Amino acid sequence: MGGIVQFENVGLRYGTGAETLSDVSFDLAMGSFTFLTGPSGAGKTSLLRLLYLAQRPSRGLIRLFGEDIVTLPRARMPAYRRRIGVVFQDFRLIPYLSAYDNVALPLRVAGVEERDLDTPVREMLDWVGLTGRSNARPATLSGGEQQRVAIARAVIARPEILVADEPTGNVDPEMAKRLLYLFEALNKLGTTVVVATHDVHLLAGVPAAMQMRLERGRVTNPVESGRYPSSGPHGLAT
Amino acid sequence: MMAWHHATAGERRLLPEARLGGPMPWVIAIMLFLTVLAAAAGLGLRQAATHLRSGLADQITIQIVEGDHVERERQATAAMHELDRLAGIGKHRRVDSSELEALLAPWLGDSFTRGEIPIPAMIDVTLAPGGADRIDAIGEALKSVAPAVRISSHAQWLKPIEALIGTLLWLALALVLLMAAATAFTVVLAARAALDTHRETIDVMHLLGATDGQIARLFQRRIATDAMIGGLIGFSGAVVVVLILSQRIESVGSELFGAISLTTAAWIGLLALPLAGTILAMATARLTILGTLERIL
């Protein structure tokens, strides 16, 4: 049986330009932790966009949760998206909503009752160190605080896959460590984590994590399910 | 699953509230104002047409146009007797001389001496049901006993007025439909503008797993609220105008104008217009938004 994420010969082309991603193939096991590395313009963000269902590939096969999402009807996309948490590179917080309401957004989208929202949202804000800033709007938050709100929003619904695009780009080293600890904690709970980063210190923070490198839209060291240990927090789906 | 028009308190916070801040409620108010006026005019005219038909269409006036006073009286008496026995006649009565003088006084003055001017004898007839089809036969029968008889059917002179009212009714209906179409187009533009303004929010919500229905509900609720507020403003303004016009029409004292009135059913129909406008706006907004969202993955 394959992993939770399977890419087979995936290509992505925007318009009529050259392929941004070419022949990308990899297989991520459920509960794995993977760093996606590579120089700027290598296609990391494009690959993540395919992963969080913002884009369909131009060719190839993508399976998420065992489902072929290339041919998945549009109406079924939301149910799969709710199983994926995303930390966007530019945060993409909703500017007129408070930190609290931004973090609560995935739960509201999932139809959680208002009376059941408060505890998890406050716990999550506390977890990312923003308890006193729950009513602040994004424009009044620092870059690091906005990033923490974005991370809290990505993980509050306990996603099965967490995708993060340069999640520590705007935070100090201490906060970066805390956020990494947060990702590891989620990973230990069974969440499959994929983090795109330039930060070499971050790579060292999770020694057991796999690394997948992209260069010019191609994977230079394909990750395979078999490379993961068969048990433990970064275990292979069997 | 929530109803398609209902949003939770949390969902309602997902779009900034800027009610009455934009032009849409005011555009809807103007549309509804004109729609209610057109509909009120149409309903009033329909009432007038009904009134005229029921009050006058079964009436005929018989004149005995004879210069000789004695012969005129003889033929009038004979015609009255003939009317007693003819089929299709409901009621009939001789218009007495004082009524005729009162009718002519505005033109001839109060002091004209009776007998100086030969005035036709007149008989008012109310036809029995189906009598309108027998007017020609009635005329033939009366001519055999009173050769100077002339029959004037009220329905005959009512025809052009009825035709005019019918045309005005169609015009009013066309105006109501045009206003409804204009309202729908306004909502389409407003919905598209709202989608453009909140594109980033929509993208984020989509990526968090929001369905098209959830997103559409946010916008359609807001547009429906704007439409309802605008509709009530427009309706209130139109009601004031209709009431003022009603007073003016009553003061004219004309039977034709006086027949232009609104029944209770007509008022209920007018009251339904803001509600219909709101439903139209909400449905249009939903279809527009769903159509636009379909083009996003």
Chain A residues with CB under 8 Å of B209 CB are 78-82, 106, 109-110
Contact call for A52 and B13, based on CB within 8 A = no
Q: What share of chain A is helix, strand, coil (3-state, %, to 5)?
A: 35, 25, 40
Q: What is the reported pLDDT for B111? A: 67
Could you tell me the residue ranges of all domains in chain B?
16-54+159-293, 66-147
B205 and A82 in contact by Cβ < 8 A?
no
CB contact under 8 A, A94 and B201: yes
Helix axis angle, B212-252 to B264-293, nearest 10° = 150
Number of Cβ atoms within 10 Å of the Cβ of A32? 29
Q: Which residues of B touch A114 (CB under 8 A)?
A: 8-10
Per-residue model confidence (pLDDT) at position B98: 81
pLDDT value at residue A48: 95
Matching residue, tokens 């990899």: A26
Helix runs in chain B, H state only? 9-12, 24-56, 69-85, 97-108, 135-145, 154-197, 199-207, 212-252, 255-258, 264-293
Neighbours of B86 (CB within 10 A): 18
* Residue A99 distance to chain B (closest CA, Å): 13
Residues B180 and B280: beta-carbon distance below 8 Å: yes
Cβ-based contacts of A82 with chain B (< 8 Å): 208-209
Residues of chain A with Cβ-Cβ distance to B10 below 8 Å are: 101, 104, 108, 114, 117
Q: How many CB pairs under 8 A join A and B?
A: 61
- B176 SS3 class: helix
Which of B9, B201, B294 is closest, CB to CB, to A114? B9
Q: Is the pLDDT of residue B113 over 70?
A: no
A170 Cβ partners below 8 Å, 6+ apart?
A: A143, A144, A146, A147
Domain-wise residue ranges, chain A:
1-73+160-228, 84-158
End-to-end Cα spacing for chain A: 6
Q: Mean pLDDT over residues B54-60, rounded?
A: 76
Residues of B in contact with A55 (CB under 8 A): 297
As a whole number, the mean pLDDT across chain B is 84
Of residues B196 and B154, more confidently modeled: B196
Best of A49, A109, A115, A135 to substitute, by most chain B Cβ atoms within 10 angstroms, is A109
Q: Which residues of A touch B201 (CB under 8 A)?
A: 94
Nearest CA in chain A to B218: A109
Strands A192-196 and A161-165: parallel
> Is the CB of B10 less than 8 angstroms away from the CB of A117?
yes
* Neighboring chain A residues of B204 at a CB cutoff of 8 Å: 92, 94, 105
Residues of B contacting chain A (CB within 8 angstroms) = 2, 8-11, 13-14, 16, 200-201, 203-211, 214, 294, 297
Question: Contacts of residue B203 in chain A, CB cutoff 8 Å?
Answer: 92
Contact A158, A127 (CB under 8 A): no
Residues of chain B neighbouring A86 (CB-CB closer than 8 A) = 207-208
Residues pairing with A28 in the sheet:
A5
Q: CB of A105 within 8 Å of any CB in chain B? A: yes
> Which residue from A88, A115, A117 is spatially nearest to A105, judged by alpha carbons?
A117
Query: In chain A, how many H helices and how many E strands?
Result: 7, 10
Helix axes B154-197, B212-252, angle to 10 degrees: 150
Q: What pLDDT shows up at residue A67?
A: 92
Contact across the interface for B214 and A109, Cβ inside 8 Å: yes
Higher pLDDT among residues A168 and B176, named by residue: B176
Question: Sorting pLDDT into bands at 50, 70 and 90, what band is B11?
Answer: low
User: What residues have CB less than 8 Å from B29, skipping those under 6 apart?
Assistant: B230, B231, B233, B234, B237
- The sheet with strand B149-153 has its strands ordered as B89-94, B121-127, B59-64, B149-153
Q: Which two tokens stand for residue B117?
A: 């001017």
The tens digit of pLDDT for each residue in B214-249 reads 888 888 888 888 889 999 999 999 999 999 988 888
Laid out side by side, the sheet with A67-68 consists of A19-28, A5-13, A59-64, A67-68
Neighboring chain B residues of A105 at a CB cutoff of 8 Å: 14, 204-205, 208
Nearest-5° Cα angle at B259, B256 to B265: 155
Which one of B6, B17, B208, B292 makes the best mutation probe of the A interface by having the most chain A beta carbons within 10 Å? B208
Across the interface, do A78 and B13 touch by the CB < 8 Å criterion?
A: no
Report the pLDDT averaged over residues B177-203: 88
Q: Could you say which of A75, A81, A114 has the minimum Cβ distance to residue B208?
A: A81
* Rounded percentage of chain A residues whose pLDDT exceeds 90: 60
CA distance B258 to B41: 13
* Run of H or E residues at A189: none
A178 touches chain B (CB under 8 A): no
Looking at residue B7, what is its pLDDT? 61
User: At residue B184, what is the residue type?
Assistant: A
User: CA dist B42 to B116, B128, B175, B235, B244, Å?
Assistant: 48, 30, 10, 16, 17
For residue B127, what pLDDT band results from cuts at 50, 70 and 90? confident
CA distance B3 to chain A (A): 13
Q: Do A92 and B206 touch (CB under 8 A)?
A: no
Predicted pLDDT at A126: 92
Q: Is the pLDDT of residue A237 over 50?
A: no
Look at residues A169, A166, A179, A104 and name the one whose alpha carbon lies nearest to residue A143. A169
- Contact with chain B for residue A101, Cβ under 8 A: yes
**Residues B61-103: tens digit of each pLDDT:** 899 888 888 898 899 999 999 888 888 888 889 988 888 878 7
The model's confidence at residue A143, banded by pLDDT at 50, 70 and 90, is confident
Tokens representing A215 are 């260069």
Asked whether the predicted pLDDT for residue A231 surpasses 50, the reply is no
Which one of 3.40.50.620, 3.40.50.300, 3.30.300.180, 1.10.1740.10 gives the CATH number of domain A1-73+160-228?
Answer: 3.40.50.300
